[in-house]
Structure 1
């Protein structure tokens, strides 16, 4: 069955899993007229198992002010920083190195990101993650 409701807007939000901020949601979704409290409770409920992660979600808002919520995987840079235990990337990527990512760590991050990437080839996903790591000043060994 296809959804025949008319889409008025889609908004991508990026919030902490299991504890979305009403203030941030209000800023992003306030002008749309959607029930923010309902979006928050649905987001928190569906991301409760990922507490501590930053989880992007696409909120599709329909003409009747109802919504659909599609969760995505955490950003690649967030996963790399968490894996290495660093706060941020290098000030001068390509010159400064803030950490090293092993092939096993690279594979683990690529497997987690695979559903959101435009490939289903793990090797291509690993190259994509490695490119993000290099742009952050992280060496892949």
Structure 2
């Protein structure tokens, strides 16, 4: 191998990027330089303040605090490409069900209910994300059925608003009981180890 070709090969080797893409969820309009986002960006050599300003500007029309899955690719010159996807399916499912959290024990308890129409509408939104571009509407609906099961959300044909409100009121009582049990378990553990 000649000296000239050795230099060319060395230059090519220097341009290879071995950094991984950053995959994270960032709340819409709430990107800040502090942890956890700041250190992740800093490790990759991205200008943190410029990134936060760019992200917040691009998400200003979305309700603040909505979690947005983001993919960031860093170029050798420390510039970046930012791809912002729609919120996670579980976020949409919980919003449609009107709940904050999923079931503690999915399969044994129901955290909320949605109609098939809700499922269909969420599937249409999620199909617009690049990772789901090759899926059919039926495949996306099947994926959402699985996600709803893991959250403890039941899919029904019809939902009566008064019945569902009673269900949610009863659910609040169950959630409070679960919270108290967890608190008691933590306190018991503290007394044993203390």
Give TM-score, length-normalised by structure 1: 0.89
Cα displacement (A) at 1:118: 5.3
Structure with the bigger RCO (C-alpha within 8 Å, sep 6+) is: 1
Take 2:97 and 2:74, find their aligned partners in 1: how far apart are those partners?
37
Paired residues of 2:26 and 2:67 also in contact (CA < 8 A) = yes
Runs (5+) with no aligned partner, structure 1 = none
Take 2:144 and 2:105, find their aligned partners in 1: how far apart are those partners?
19
Bigger CA radius of gyration = 2
Paired residues of 2:98 and 2:112 also in contact (CA < 8 A) = no
Higher strand share: 1
Match of 2:126 among 100, 113, 129: 113
Which residue of structure 2 aligns with residue 138 of structure 1?
153
Higher helix share: 2
Which residue of structure 2 aligns with residue 129 of structure 1?
144
Moved over 3 A (4+): 5-9
Runs (5+) with no aligned partner, structure 2 = 1-14, 157-194
Cα displacement (A) at 1:119: 3.3
Take 2:118 and 2:16, find their aligned partners in 1: how far apart are those partners?
42
Take 2:155 and 2:32, find their aligned partners in 1: how far apart are those partners?
35
- Structure 2 counterparts to residues 1-141 of structure 1, below 5 A: 7=17, 8-23=19-34, 24-52=36-64, 53-116=66-129, 117=132, 119-141=134-156
Cα displacement (A) at 1:6: 5.1
Count how many residue pairs are aligned between Structure 1 and Structure 2: 137
